[in-house]
Amino acid sequence: MLFRVSAIICLLSINANLLWAQQITFHLVPPLEDNPWTWIGGITQDLQGYMWFASAQGLTHFDGYKVTHYMHSRSNNNSLVNNKVESICADSKGIIWAGTFGYGLDKFDPVQNVFTHFQHQAEDKTSLINDTVTAIIEDHEKNIWIGTYGGFELLDRKTGRFTHYRHDDNDPSSLSNNHIRAIYEDKQGTIWIGTGSPFVNDKGVVPDEGGLNRFDKKTGKFIRYLHDPKNPYSLVDNRVRAIFEDSHGNFWVCTAGDGLHLLDRTTGVFTKYSYDPAHPQKLSRPPVRKLFPWCDDHVTFITEDAAGALWIGSFSGGLNRYDPATQKITFYGWQEPHLPGSFNDFNGWCAYTSKDGVLWISTMIGNLFRIDPLHHKFPYYELDEDTHCNRRQYRNNLDRQREWVVQSTERWKNYEKVCLRLTSHQQYQQQLCRRYLQRFFW
């Protein structure tokens, strides 16, 4: 109690040189157990709160203490079917679902430590329709929905059979395109499917077909939303990569090109938020950049962090963070020289918010960042010689409080180990200081 009072007196006596640094810090996650990250295609969190990462090196599981890698083994049929994992989902039963690029779908039971494989079988019409699995979700009714390069799938958990939903040229109520990049269930329980690809196909061209699809579970039919050059309230591009409903009920649809849209699900009207170079702080995606001949720039994800800000990732244009309170955009992209705590990348591939409010962002070149949006304000004090407490006293008090906090609970001991694994020592000290100040003064 005496320490708490003296700390309060100390802060009250600080002069007007108090500065508030409000910059978002990107903590670059170092490779776990010296195993370098490659491209991370998916991130999820299981029922126990453990993190899972899907990459070109298989599956990585991190429980806060140790790292477990799951990779394909030729001598073990119960191992991961292939290391090229494209998508991942942790369901309500504790099962981990992994979609691979060209090798089918895997179901992993962590209790039994066994992988079950689902692959396309030409002689079996109820098998997986295509072995490239790009999207997996579990809906509120515990159904598992699969997106592939060959169509949309519903898995029967009991039988292991799949119901196929595919494009039919003669049926306008069928799926608009078989190349699926996104599946999303909104708060009303409606399933939405984003189709089309911004990547070059096997014919050497980047196709422009695709579309957004609204699925009716009862009828098995789809309502299509497509680009119409005669309709300014339609999609700007047919290739839909990201779908998201925010906490205010706004329904976002993102495409290739300058394609950030807000959809009115009642009227079917799209409101576009285009990038304006004259007003770059207005809501939009990052500026479109064409860096590679084999891919068009596109919005890769849109999500909302624990502080209520929207994050918009792009394939080659960097990241945008939109703060609804200020109605302004902050851009994060490649910087020279590379600055500690900055994004330092041109691509954002996927994003995931874990249960503790941490935002995880992966990139195509193998970077993995973690952001704590609720604790990005860090008080920085310039203490004069006339102040009632000096730097040494403040650090000593902080060290005493740090020791008390770390030793007080097993939960904090675990968090300390996680932070030491995921951040540098200096960053960890800053996190402890932030949490100390929050505990006593906010």
**In a domain? residue 54:** yes
Top-confidence residue, 436 or 130: 130
pLDDT in tens, 120-171: 999 999 999 999 999 999 999 999 999 999 999 999 999 999 999 999 999 9
User: How much is the pTM?
Assistant: 0.80
On average, the pLDDT of the chain sits at: 83
Interatomic CA distance for residues 231 and 271, integer angstroms: 12
d(CA 39, CA 76): 25
Burial zone of 32 (CB within 10 Å; 0-12 exposed, 13-18 middle, 19+ buried): buried
Q: Lowest-pLDDT range, 131-140, 148-157, 317-326, 404-413?
A: 404-413
- Average the pLDDT over each of 12-16, 222-226, 263-267 and give the range with the smallest value: 12-16
Q: What is the DSSP letter of 404?
A: H
Cα dist from 42 to 56, 110, 402, whole Å:
10, 18, 35
Angle, helix 425-441 to helix 391-408, in steps of 10 degrees: 90
Report residue 44 as tokens: 């999820």
CA distance 364 to 68: 22
Q: Which is more confident, 21 or 102?
A: 102
418-426: long-range contacts at Cβ-Cβ below 8 A with a sequence spacing of 24 or more?
A: 418/64, 421/32, 422/27, 422/29, 422/30, 422/370, 423/27
Q: For strands 58-62 and 51-55, give the pairing.
A: antiparallel
pLDDT tens for 329-388 read 999 998 766 778 889 899 999 999 999 999 999 998 889 999 999 875 433 333 333 333
Greater pLDDT, 283 or 377? 283
Q: How many CB atoms lie within 10 A of CB 26?
A: 21
Residue 252 counted as domain residue: yes
Is 75 a member of any domain?
yes
Domain that holds residue 364: 35-392
pLDDT above 90 for 102 = yes
Q: Is 142 part of any domain?
A: yes
DSSP string, 329-392: EEEE---SS--TTS---S---EEEE-TTS-EEEE-TTS-EEEE-GGG--EEE----TTSSS-HH
Burial class (CB in 10 A: 0-12, 13-18, 19+), 266: exposed
Whether residue 327 lies inside any domain: the answer is: yes
Interacting residues of 42 by C-beta distance below 8 A, sequence separation 6+: 53, 54, 85, 86, 87, 88, 89, 350
Q: Which of 91-105, 194-208, 294-308, 367-381 has the lowest mean pLDDT?
A: 367-381
Residue 314: in which H helix or E strand, if any?
strand 310-314
247 falls within a domain? yes
- Tell me the C-alpha distance between 58 and 72, whole Å: 7
Q: Is residue 54 scored above 90 in pLDDT?
A: yes
The DSSP secondary-structure symbol of 288 reads P
Is 162 exposed, middle or buried (CB count within 10 Å of its CB: 0-12, 13-18, 19+)?
A: buried
Q: Which CATH number belongs to the domain containing residue 247 in this structure?
A: 2.130.10.10
In a domain, 44, yes or no: yes
Express each pLDDT in 224-259 by its tens digit: 999 999 999 999 999 999 999 999 999 999 999 999
Please give the tally of structural domains in the chain: 1
Residue 423 lies in a domain: no
Dist. CA 280–CA 322, nearest whole Å:
11
- Strand runs labelled E in 156-220: 162-165, 180-185, 191-195, 211-216
**pLDDT tier at 405 (50, 70, 90 boundaries)?**
very low
